[in-house]
């Protein structure tokens, strides 16, 4: 399978698992252990379409209370001007 990184043109990728932050209309879902292919040179991450679709589905299910949360965290929000 010959692929080229869209950003740096490198052709070497490694399979890894990352934490993915899905954001939609100001709502967030953090998903741990998401499989992806990472460019070995620039670190750009590539996901399979079905992986992203599953995350999208879970996001909708969770925010419409069709799926139970595994864990919820509090995230501080700051305004840059006040840092």
Residues of the shown chain interacting with Zn ion in the complex, contacts defined by CB under 5 A: 5, 7-8, 10, 39, 41-42, 44
Report the residue number, 10 or 30, with the smaller CB distance to Zn ion.
Answer: 10
The distance of closest approach from Cβ of residue 48 to Zn ion in the complex, given in angstroms and rounded to an integer, is: 17
Do the beta carbons of residue 38 and residue 45 sit within 8 Å? Answer: yes
Question: Strand 27-39 relative to strand 45-46: parallel, antiparallel, unpaired?
Answer: antiparallel
**Between residues 5 and 59, which has the closer beta carbon with respect to Zn ion?**
5
Residue closer to Zn ion (CB basis): 37 or 44: 44
Q: How far apart are CA 4 and CA 11, in angstroms?
A: 5
């Amino acid at each position: 399978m010959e692929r080229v990184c869209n950003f740096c043109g490198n052709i070497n990728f490694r399979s890894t698992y990352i934490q993915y932050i899905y954001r939609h209309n100001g709502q967030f879902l953090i998903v741990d252990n998401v499989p992806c292919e990472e460019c070995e040179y620039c670190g750009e991450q590539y996901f399979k379409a079905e992986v992203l679709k599953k995350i999208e589905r879970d996001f909708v299910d969770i925010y419409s209370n069709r799926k139970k949360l595994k864990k919820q965290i509090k995230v501080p929000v700051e305004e840059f001007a006040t840092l």
